Structures are given as C-alpha cells and as structure tokens.
Structure 1
Amino acid sequence: MLSTELVGRRIVLRYRRHDGILPPLSDVVGELTSLTPTTAVVAGPNGPVTVDRAAIVAARPVAPHRRQILELERIARRGWRAAEVEEFDGWLLHADQGWTSRANSVLPLTTPRRPLSELLAAADRFYAERGLPVQIQLPLPARGLLDAELAGRCWSLRRPAVMLSSPISGLPEVLVSDEPVRLDPVPSTAWLDGYHHRGDPLPEHAVRLLTRHDQVRFASLSRNGSVVGVARATVDEGWLGVSAVEVAAGHRRSGVASTLMRALADWGRGQAATRCYLQVEADNSGALAFYQRLGFISHHRYHYRIAPAAS
C-alpha cells in the first residue's frame, strides 16, 4: 500500500479515525514527507498530518495540483535565466537571442485580467522587436484551456517534454560510484567541448546563459584523460535543477550519467536542496527509462505553441 518510493510524492491517504469520532474514515491529500514502520506524515493543506500506519485503509499517488505545476515551472525558469525577462499581466516573456525555447518563450504563470487578444498582441510586439517568433510554453494540465484556444487559432505544437522530479534523499541509494567528478562554478573548455545543444556547438550568448546563476555547477567526468560526460546543475528555492546532460558516444550505458547525477545530488544536498527536477523530451524513451530507474517520476508534461506565420 505504502512504500518509500512514494516519499516526496503527492498522495491521497484514507485512514480510520479514533473510536467514537465521526465519520469513522478521513482523507488527507498532500506530499508524503515521512514514512516510518509505524507512522506516515502527509503535508496537508492545513499543515502536517501524522497517521498510524495500522490505521491506513488506502493510499495512492495523485497528480500535482495546478499550482504546484506552475510553481515548478517558475523555479525551472530561475535555473535557466534568460538575458531579458518582462512581465505582462501574469505572463513572463523571456528572450535570449533565440537559444533554446525555454529562454525565448512566454510562461503564462498566473491568470491574466486582460483578454487573450491583448496578451498575444503584447507578446507579438516583444518578440518582433527582437526578431524572434512568438512561442508560449504550456504546462499541462494547468494551462489546458489556453492550449486548446491556441490550437484553435492554428498555433503549431512543438517539443513536447516531460518534467521529472524526485526527492534528493532517494537518489544516493542507487547512485554508487568511486569515479571522481569535477565540479566547477564556470564551464571549462573541456566541458564546453563536451556539450552540444541539439548537436550544435555553443554560441557565446549560450555560455552566458548557462553561467547566469549564483548557485551553479558544471560537472564533468574524465576517463583516460578525456571528458566523457558533462552536466549542469543549479539550486533555487530548495530545488536542484539538472540540465545539459551529455555522454560521449562510446561511453553511454557505462555508468557515466549515473556518476554525474550522484555528484550533482551530493552538491545539491550541500546547498540545502531537498528535491530535484529535470526535463526530458517526450520521445526520448531511453532517457526517460534511465531517470525512472533512478527514482524520478513524471511531475507533469508541457509543450510549446508557435504562432502561425504572418500571411
């Protein structure tokens, strides 16, 4: 019914109340923060609830609340900081010379007061001034209605992805390696040589984006004098964000990625991070399977909508 795999996940817990209390059963929904042989602690909407495990009738994981989805997306933007950010009625407009969709798209963070036509016009002006297309990131299901509206306006769907998450406390149990990992506050030349976004070398403004953070580390693993794997991590508000993971051809499935994740988890714990997130493209079945083996679960999905070209 309950296992340590559910710690850190949002669950619904049904339990028997003390004799004489009506109704005899009660439910609590929230994050399972602690699980011992005798008790379970759930962070409910009104504070933590401690339940005797013997009184538990049923338990199951539930999807994150829309507020949690949007909050994690806000934090993920802090881990990937665009050079320009403007706010317009709850929409965050990011731009950074077109490098990556996340740094050059709108995040509709809060419910706006203005009509959609005004919001889209403001986004169009912002990106037109920078010579960029209008892209809107749509975390689902939190922004399902907006997604449907844009689809009805012939906005095309691009880059579906999965946001994965895990408590950091669960990672060291499966990440065991004695290989030393180098952690640098700025990327070395070897790190930059080892990372290619979508197969391309990094332009200078991309390097500035990667280093635009006050708590960032660039991890690299070498074998026989050559870097065989790299990754990047940031810490924001208790979350460790992992990105830019790349393993050299010929060294995949040899423990490189696991070793990098172990080192970054250790570093994140030292920065008081308690949870970890990362994004994987939805069609990357190999990466999804790898992170699921490490204990990551799907927090939510998202994709981008691209404005139709002007006729």
Structure 2
Amino acid sequence: MEFTMGGRAEVRITPADVGKRVSVRRRSEGGAAGWRFTDTVGVLTSWNNHVLSITPKSGESVHIAESSLVAGKVVPSAPARRRGPSATFAELAHVCARAWQPVESEPLGDWQLRAAEGFTRRANSVLPLGDPGVPLDEALARVERWYEDRGLPAYIQTATGAEGTQENLCAELEEHGWRREVTAQVRIAALAPIGDLDADVARVRLSRGIDEAWLSRYQRFDTPGPHVLKVLGSGPSVWFATVPGDAAGDAPAAIGRCVVDGRWAGFMAVEVDAAYRRRGLASAVMTALARQALDEGASAAWLQVEADNEGAHALYDRMGFVTHHLYHHFRSA
C-alpha cells in the first residue's frame, strides 16, 4: 500500500470525503518496538469530533482518532473481477431475495419487511434496498414493532464490499445499537464450466417438489411446517436434487436446491451426509443442477456461503466462484 508523494506520507482526505472509499494508515503504541502502523481500507462513513469511522468489507466499523493518522487517500472501488459474469449489487440482491421468498412481507418505503415464522434469516429480515421514506430512527422503531408483533427478533440484511453496497447503513445501525450476528459471502461464477465438470451425475435425481427424504437430510429447521415448504418452494424455477443412500430406506446421501431466474442459477442447501463425504457428491449435485439450469437458458451462477465455512470455500474455489460482495444480518439490541 503506497501513501507517499515525493518520499513523504500525506493525509489527503478531509471530512468532505465522507461516503468515499479510502485507504488510511494510523499509528499506535507498539511498546518496546516503538510505533506500530495499521492500514485500513473501506468506506469513510463519518468524521465527527476528530474521530473517523471507516466501514471495511467486514461490515464492522473501525473508529480512528484523527490525531493518529499518518497517511490517507481516496481510492477507487475494487477492480472488476476478470473471471465470471459481470453483475451489479442491486441485480444480485433482487435475484437472491427471489430465491428465499417470505411467507409475508410489507413495504416500508423502499425497504421490504419479510417474515416466515423464523425459518432462515434471509426470509425473516428487512431488505433495505433504498430509502425507508421516514427518518432512520422512525424506520428502525417500525421494524422492531413489526417483528415484535410476530414474536420474531428484528434483523436487517445489509451488504458491503462492492459498488453501491451499504457501508453507511451498517455504520448507522451500529450507532443505533444494532449488532452484526452473521456474515456471508455472495459468490458468482460462469455456469457452463460447472455443468461441464466430470462428475458422477447418474445417481442424482432432480424433481420440482420436496419429499420427506429430501427434508430428512436438510438440517436447518426443527419441524418442516408449511412455512418451510413455502420458502423452499419459492422462486421463478425451483429444482431439488437428491442422491439416494446406499441402502433402501436410508436418508439421502446428498441433496441440493437450485433456483433458475433469468440468466442466474442460484445454488443452495447443498448438503452431504458425513458418511458419504469425499466421494464427489457435492460436485455431482451442483453439476446436475447446473445442466438443468443451462437447459433453461441460464448462464451465470451464484451462491451464499458463510465466511467461516472453509471446506465449502475450497470446493467453490475449484468451481471458479469468486466473491462479489458480503452480506450481514444486524440484530436489534
């Protein structure tokens, strides 16, 4: 990271740069070693009372005393990826939302309040794509009342790390006492290479509906009530994949779900029984679903994976997926 100009570090940002992506270097005491320097890159979300707030990709704001700055400059947005499809944040946010449709929803300006009796945060959180139409304090109070009326915790889903994402909203939520609970990556890739993988798809069965066997492998709920079936079955074109177990009557060895939506194919609920891992079943499920999506005219793939799921990251890396942005769920205090 280079801050020098003519051999001299400079602070070339001011409060007028709030809202821009910046790179700063600050110093802190390093004990016997003297000064220690730390670099931070993110959106400058505020500069008040001689303290800067910068929200990096992680979504958690960093507060920096103005007096500790050694260097700083405005930097361009992250360069476009050279692999995979091009996509805007707004496009992907709408596509992902259509794959996890709630049981009920209500608009608040450009925000969408969503609920599905608690099944998956993605269907039980506010999607804030725009202006709520009222001051933020009032919007947050309405959100809290709406979820309280349904016996649910109040969550707001935000995004960081791409052009047009919501670093400012993340910082404002933190200032209002909301806390980030979960961070996940939204990854994208070209679809054809996934369909071309040399995977054993002969055992993969595709269907439009969910049966008891598929649900017995999906471990994301206590009781598969109508709300679970409604959310899982939602989307423009939904497919379910099942790999039967080795013996008749066994729970499936692997499952998956795919939602085809225009040029996009979203992969989710890819799960493999522990006894069947390292047999290529996750790749087989995704390959079979990708071929079906290609037949329907899709050309690009997306998925969501929690930031700490290292095993899944390795698989998706091999398939060509790259991170487009991060999303977070903030919960009311």
TM value normalised by structure 2: 0.69
Equivalent residues of 2:108, 2:133 under 8 A apart: no
Which residue of structure 2 aligns with residue 136 of structure 1?
156
Which residue of structure 2 aligns with residue 38 of structure 1?
none
- Whether 2:188 is the aligned partner of 1:165: answer yes
Q: Please, which of 138, 141, 146 is the counterpart of residue 118 of structure 1?
A: 138
Q: Residue 244 of structure 2 aligns to a residue in which SS?
A: strand
Q: Residue 105 of structure 2 aligns to a residue in which SS?
A: strand
- Whether 2:225 is the aligned partner of 1:221: answer no
Q: Residue 253 of structure 2 aligns to a residue in which SS?
A: strand
Equivalent residues of 2:236, 2:261 under 8 A apart: no
Q: Aligned runs of 1:75-224 on 2, under 5 Å? A: 75-141=95-161, 142-197=165-220, 200=222, 202-224=224-246
Which residue of structure 1 aligns with residue 93 of structure 2?
73
Q: 1-side partners of 2:297 and 2:160: how far apart? A: 29
Q: Please, which of 298, 305, 308 is the counterpart of residue 280 of structure 1?
A: 305
Q: Residue 275 of structure 2 aligns to a residue in which SS?
A: coil
Identity of aligned residues (%): 37
Which residue of structure 2 aligns with residue 62 of structure 1?
80
Equivalent residues of 2:98, 2:234 under 8 A apart: no
Equivalent residues of 1:239, 1:273 under 8 A apart: yes
Equivalent residues of 1:240, 1:273 under 8 A apart: yes
Q: 2-side partners of 1:253 and 1:279: how far apart? A: 21
Name whichever of 172-181 and 127-136 sits farther off.
Answer: 172-181
1:201 to partner: Cα distance: 5.4
Alpha-carbon spacing, 1:130–1:201, altered in 2? closer, same or farther (3 Å): closer
Q: Residue 276 of structure 2 aligns to a residue in which SS?
A: coil
Q: 1-side partners of 2:207 and 2:172: how far apart? A: 44
Name whichever of 105-114 and 270-279 sits farther off.
Answer: 105-114
1:158 to partner: Cα distance: 0.8
Alpha-carbon spacing, 1:88–1:280, altered in 2? closer, same or farther (3 Å): same
Instruction: Give the AA of the match of 1:128.
Output: E
Equivalent residues of 2:181, 2:328 under 8 A apart: yes
Q: 1-side partners of 2:198 and 2:185: how far apart? A: 22
1:207 to partner: Cα distance: 1.9
Instruction: Give the AA of the match of 1:220.
Output: T
Q: 2-side partners of 1:304 and 1:261: how far apart? A: 26
Q: Aligned runs of 1:27-66 on 2, under 5 Å? A: 61-62=79-80
TM value normalised by structure 1: 0.74
What are the superposed Cα offsets for residues 183-242 of structure 1, whole Å, 9 maximum, x if unpaired? 1111122111111117x5534421222123451111001242442000111112321111
Equivalent residues of 1:195, 1:201 under 8 A apart: no
Q: Residue 188 of structure 2 aligns to a residue in which SS?
A: strand
Q: 2-side partners of 1:127 and 1:237: how far apart? A: 32
Which residue of structure 2 aligns with residue 233 of structure 1?
258
Alpha-carbon spacing, 1:63–1:299, altered in 2? closer, same or farther (3 Å): same
Structure 2 gaps, min length 5:
1-77
Instruction: Give the AA of the match of 1:211.
Output: G
Equivalent residues of 1:139, 1:303 under 8 A apart: yes
Q: 2-side partners of 1:111 and 1:269: how far apart? A: 36
1:175 to partner: Cα distance: 4.2
Q: Aligned runs of 1:1-12 on 2, under 5 Å? A: none
Equivalent residues of 1:135, 1:304 under 8 A apart: yes
Q: 1-side partners of 2:305 and 2:256: how far apart? A: 14
1:174 to partner: Cα distance: 3.1
1:112 to partner: Cα distance: 4.1
Structure 1 gaps, min length 5:
1-59
Which residue of structure 2 aligns with residue 293 of structure 1?
318
What are the superposed Cα offsets for residues 61-95 of structure 1, whole Å, 9 maximum, x if unpaired? 5269xx81132111111011111121111111110
